[in-house]
Amino acid sequence: MERKEVKTILMYYSEIPGMAKLLKREKYELELEYSSIQGISSDGSQHGNGPGAPTEQIAIRMIDNGISDRLKEIAVQLQVLDRDAALIRGCVDGMNSKYKRVLLLRSVNGYSWGRIYAQTGIPESTARDWHNKAEERLGKELEYVPMVDELYYRASRAR
């Protein structure tokens, strides 16, 4: 796998927590808005609403607005993000610790070369060399990941 593709996948990896957080927030808000259908609020306490016109109206609105479909989509998207993160993390975790550290600091955390030096004491030229080697090794590891093309496609579309 080329380094350009590896960089795209690393960028995606660093964005996965934020993407998951947004999806979870959307799910929470949708569930909160439509929770009275089930007679239970999102915190687990029972509503005073019984069956009748208000509940029926909410159910019809939920179906008309495609809310249940969206909740299913969110669940699938969260599973995909979790799986992608685990696959990438597995490849990164298999690397030499010095390469892994520089790779994570630079590509995932966005540290500058100067900040990496301040944090680790690794000279900038050495850190750059290790980072390049880490990207190359990660690219080789990613080639063994099942459906890596789909992973790269999701990573390139995530921006």
| pLDDT for residue 147 | 92
β-partners of residue 40 are 46
Mean pLDDT, rounded, of the chain:
87
Residue range 43-58: mean pLDDT, rounded = 57
Q: What percent of the chain has pLDDT over 70?
A: 82
CA distance 10 to 89: 10
Q: What percent of the chain has pLDDT over 90?
A: 71
CA distance 33 to 65: 12
Q: Is the pLDDT of residue 137 over 90?
A: yes
Interval 118-128: pLDDT, tens? 999 999 999 99
Nearest of 78, 73, 70, 79 to residue 34 by alpha carbon: 70
| pLDDT for residue 68 | 82
| pLDDT for residue 158 | 85
Query: Cβ(158)–Cβ(15) under 8 Å?
Result: yes
Confidence of residue 38 (pLDDT cuts 50, 70, 90): low
Q: Is the pLDDT of residue 65 over 60?
A: yes
